[in-house]
Each structure stands twice: as structure tokens, then as C-alpha cells.
Structure 1
Amino acid sequence: MLSTNPMAALFGKSPFKPLQQHMRCVIGCVREVPPLFEALIGHDQREVNAQKVRIFTKENEADAIKNELRVHLPRSLLLAVDRRDLLELLAIQDSIADVAQDIAGLLVERRMEVPEGMAEPLTRFVARCVATCEQAHSIVEQLDELLETGFRGREVEKVEAMIVELGHMETDTDLMAISLSQALFAREDDIKPVSVMFWYQLIQWLGNLADGAEKVGDRLRLLIAR
């Protein structure tokens, strides 16, 4: 009798297919963050609100896949990797979409104005954080090839190199966050204290996108090592 569980059917082909499907939703959510800040910098609150809706919609799609995966992840099926590893990777991926949602929510709940002189470095910072998430997505898309090679050989070397590059990219975002925070604090006498606080929070949250991406790479490095 054929299984009526769509997730189980996916796992029958590969333990990574649902994770890849989830990560595609996550990266779709993250890709909406640069247009969100473009609208903010351009003083287009209507577009900020529209981007918030897009981000929330895509985050909800990622949540739906996450919940289905958690409920239907086979317990008895012999998987190529430990069930706990899959669930931990799923949680890390999902945290990235959650952060994007938090950022969008704040920019709608509180009208924010970009401090003078911060628009250009902020745009570069956002782009680098998103690129770091894109790198994590690219690595997750390599999981089927890893499975086919039995987690050995050139494919492992390729993925490990991608993970190393991911770490370098996340380090870049750390340095950019420090620079942006310094620029913010240099102007704190000209900005309302509460605005300084919220901008500092936004910088931290943007950095958390890249942090989450690096954690995906770290978890996959452990998975490969096993």
C-alpha cells in the first residue's frame, strides 16, 4: 500500500529533500529584506508595509513546512543521518526566517528614519548579510550530492570549502556591524535615545541573519564529520 504521508514519501527519496524545500522558503523570505530597506531609505512607507506583508507570508510558508516536517518526520525509517540532526538543522534554518520577520515587523510597528550618512553602509551591510544566507542555501542544496557519494570524496571537499567561505562572509558582517554601530553612536547626540536603541537592535538583528547562516554551515560540518 502506498504511503499517504507526503513527507514520508519525500524522505523515501532523500532525507534532505524536505530540508531543502524549507530552506528555499527561508531564503525567499530573506531576499525580501533588501527591498524592505530600499523602501525605508527611499521614505516609501507604503512599500515598507508591502514588503512586511511579503516577508510575513513567506515566513508563514516556512513555518508550515517546518511544522509538517516535525510531525511527519519518520521515526522508524532508516535515515542516512540522525533524526535529531535533521531537526536541529531545521530549527536553525527556521530561525533565519524568524529574524527577517522580526526586522520587518519593527520597521512597520515603529516609523524609522535612517540616520544621516548611514544609508550607503547600511545597504552594503544588508547585502552582505543576505549573501551570507545565500551561501548557506547553496550548501544545503549540495546535500543530495553528499548523500550520493556517501559523504566522501571531492563533494565533501567542495562543501567543506563552501562552509569555510561562509565563515569568512559571516566575519565580514561582524566587522560591518561594528562599523555601523560606531557610526550610529557617533551621531547619538543628534538622534533621539530611543531611536539609537532601535537602530542598534536592527543592526544586531541583521547580523543575526548571517549568524544563523553560519550556524547552518557549522551544523552541516558536524553532520559530515559523523
Structure 2
Amino acid sequence: MKDYIRSVLDVVSESPFVPLEKHAKKGVLAVEKLAEAMEAYCAGNQAVLEERTDEIDKLEHDADKLKQKIRAGIPSSVRLQVNKKDLLSFLKQQDSIADFAQAAAYWMTLRPCKTLPEEIKEGFLELMATSLKTTRKYDELAGELYKLLATSFSKEEIQETMSIIPEVEKLEHDVDVLETALLKMIFENEDIIGGAGVCHLIGLVERVGGVADKSASAADRLRTMILRR
């Protein structure tokens, strides 16, 4: 069914919807690579960390190219099935997922993980895993766009799509809780980590958590785009 939907959409001249799912996939792939980078960071494997950072950089660049393609595919004289401004606002938030993955990976390369207590490493791995879970759930949501377009936003498909959004938001809330607990742990170990180390880890928490935050923001903008179409 999905292949049929894609074939129908592909014949629409300069449709901005055709590359939207591909763009979302670039974001989730970047976050998956970030999870591997986090494992390498916590293991002190700088070589693998830098390899994953390079891969994330390429995915973010690919996402940027798709973003430009989508923007260029928005016709000025043809009425879309959704509000154009809402579509661009949604795209901006979706694009930020790969941006934050890239920023988090770069941030890890700036300072090696040498003196971190095991509990903080475990905290980062848990935060990363939940952020990735949030992004994957968002990717599932973005994939529903094809069904919405193919059914001209039928009531049933809208309800099915909308039911996924609270799941994304719940996972993002779980990330917020983990962020708070991890930050507290970092400050409690300031004597071991050092002032510079604390500042670095705070920045890393914000960037990894930002992946989930942008996933939830994109989900919220998608909801707005659907409701105001």
C-alpha cells in the first residue's frame, strides 16, 4: 500500500511531500549514529567516536539538501493540502533533529571521557537510548503523512496519526526527567569531574536531550499543520 501511495505522490510535479519522509529518515539515522557515538565516548574510543561524527555530519548535510528540495518544491501558485507556513514551520523543527545530533557528536569530540564515574556514563547511555526511542517514534509519525495525503486527510487516518503524537510527547517528558537526574549527578561529582568537565557535560546533556525535544516539537508542528489545513 505504501509503495502505491509513493508512486501516486511521485507523479505530482514538484510535490514538497515526496522527500519529507526521506528527510525524517536522515534525522533518525543521525540519532542512531549518535547513539553509537555515545557508546564510543563512554568507552573512551576516540577513533570510533570521530568516525560516527563524520557519518552524522554527512547525514545532516544530506538532510539540509533535502530541506532545500522541499522548500523549492512548494509552488507559489498552487494551493497545497496544508498551510504553506505551517509546512515550513514543521520542516524547520524536523530538520533540527539532525542538527542537534550533529551538535552533540561534535561536543563529545571536544573533551575525552577519562574521569567520569560509571554512574554518569550509565546516565548518559540511558538518556541517549530514550532520546533515540523518542526520535524513532517520531519517525513512525512522520511516515503517516503518506497515508494522510493518499486519503485526502480522512478522519480515520487523522485520528490514527494524532494518536502517535502523545506517545512522542510522553517519551520527550521521560527524557526531561532523565536530564534532571543526570545533571544532579554531575554536580554531585564536581570534585571528581572538575569545573571544566561539569560545563562540558552540561552542554552534552542539553544537546542529547535536545534531540528528543526537537522530535516532540516537530510532532507538535505536524499536529498544527493537520488541524489548520
Letter in 2 for 1:20: E
Task: Quote the RMSD (CA, aligned, Å).
Answer: 1.8
Letter in 2 for 1:85: D
Letter in 2 for 1:19: L
Equivalent-residue separation in structure 1 for 2:16 and 2:103 (angstroms)? 30
Aligned length: 219
Q: Does 1:137 align with 2:139?
A: yes
Letter in 2 for 1:18: P
Q: CA deviation at 1:91?
A: 0.8
The answer as to whether partners of 1:136 and 1:214 remain within 8 angstroms in 2 is yes
Deviations 1:107-150 (A, max 9, x none): 22332346202122221110100110111111110011112333
CA 1:36–1:10: 2 relative to 1, 3 Å: farther
Structure 1: 5+ residue stretches without partners: 1-7
Q: CA deviation at 1:10?
A: 6.2
Match of 2:116, SS? Answer: coil
Letter in 2 for 1:106: W
Q: CA deviation at 1:45?
A: 0.7
Q: Does 1:79 align with 2:114?
A: no
What residue number does 1:97 align with?
Answer: 98
The two structures have a TM-score, normalised by structure 1, of 0.90
Q: CA deviation at 1:9?
A: 6.0
What residue number does 2:179 align with?
Answer: 177
Matches within 5 A, 1:32-181: 32-113=33-114, 115-116=116-117, 117-181=119-183
What residue number does 1:4 align with?
Answer: none
Deviations 1:127-186 (A, max 9, x none): 100110111111110011112333232222211110011111111000010011111111
Letter in 2 for 1:96: I
Structure 2: 5+ residue stretches without partners: 1-8
Letter in 2 for 1:184: I
Q: CA deviation at 1:72?
A: 3.8
What residue number does 1:203 align with?
Answer: 205
The two structures have a TM-score, normalised by structure 2, of 0.89
Equivalent-residue separation in structure 1 for 2:176 and 2:64 (angstroms)? 28
Equivalent-residue separation in structure 1 for 2:219 and 2:124 (angstroms)? 25
CA 1:114–1:24: 2 relative to 1, 3 Å: farther
Equivalent-residue separation in structure 2 for 1:10 and 1:49 (angstroms)? 40
